[in-house]
Amino acid sequence: GAGVSQTPSNKVTEKGKYVELRCDPISGHTALYWYRQSLGQGPEFLIYFQGTGAADDSGLPNDRFFAVRPEGSVSTLKIQRTERGDSAVYLCASSFTSQGTEAFFGQGTRLTVV
Amino acid sequence: GENVEQHPSTLSVQEGDSAVIKCTYSDSASNYFPWYKQELGKRPQLIIDIRSNVGEKKDQRIAVTLNKTAKHFSLHITETQPEDSAVYFCAASKGGNKLVFGAGTILRVKS
């Protein structure tokens, strides 16, 4: 595709449920990033993949959050036992390499936990 | 870890005037400073970036300056137009795209 694609665009879930958010990066981009953006704030780093491996997961807030990228392309962010505080826009970005190249963001998934 | 502060939080200018947004960072190891524009409900888009081996960079009506000693960098938009209205974010990193963002500046250009 032409850009980074994220699905779903909106997700409403009940507290305690499990959710999966999907990111399709730009073809050929080896680096993939997940960010979380709360209302009125800048994006906050969660995790970064270089290829299939998580190169840096230092931004994941707790062990309810997990992400995978099994084939080095599509990534899924998984949130277990969702809490109302998880409500935010989850942004995915990809770049051709991890250093020195522009990061392109997707439109995000707006997650609302009720 | 890195901390990025951004000012002002909101900025209103008259069409045709200039706008300046300022950011400071805390980690002297940071060496990459991009600026993103985000329109309501849309994705952040890179508008300009600067690396620490350069003091200033310009692209048409947009320029960024970097003062490594003081650890601050600024975005300058000249001849503002209504379509420049958006939220602008500064960010810092140690070269890659693991970015630490500022809180954003809402820019309103009044026509």
**Residue A1 predicted with pLDDT over 60:** no
Kindly list the residues from chain A whose CB atom is less than 8 angstroms away from the CB atom of residue B101.
42-44
Assess B100–A contact: CB distance below 8 Å, yes or no: yes
Q: Å from B106 to nearest chain A CA?
A: 10
Size of interface A-B (CB pairs under 8 A): 56
Which residues make Cβ contacts (< 8 Å) with residue A54, sequence separation at least 6? A47, A48, A67, A69
Q: Å from B99 to nearest chain A CA?
A: 7
**Residue A29 predicted with pLDDT over 80:** yes
Which two structure tokens, joined as six digits, stand for A111? Answer: 């997650």
- In whole angstroms, what separates CA B58 from the centre of its chain? 13
Assess B92–A contact: CB distance below 8 Å, yes or no: no
Q: A39: number of CA atoms within 13 Å, CB side?
A: 6
pLDDT at residue number A72: 93
pLDDT, tens only, B84-100: 999 999 999 997 889 99
Q: In chain A, pLDDT over 90 holds for what percent of residues?
A: 89
Q: Å from A15 to nearest chain B CA?
A: 24
User: A43: nearest CA in chain B?
Assistant: B101
pLDDT, tens only, B11-51: 999 999 999 999 999 999 999 999 999 999 899 999 999 99
In angstroms, the CA A83 to CA A105 distance is: 25
Which two structure tokens, joined as six digits, stand for B58? Answer: 């310009």
Closest partner residue to A45 (CB to CB) among B43, B99, B104 is B99
Which two structure tokens, joined as six digits, stand for B18? Answer: 């200039």
**Residue A68 predicted with pLDDT over 60:** yes
Residue type for A17, please? K
Assess A66–B contact: CB distance below 8 Å, yes or no: no
pLDDT, tens only, B61-84: 999 999 999 999 999 999 999 999
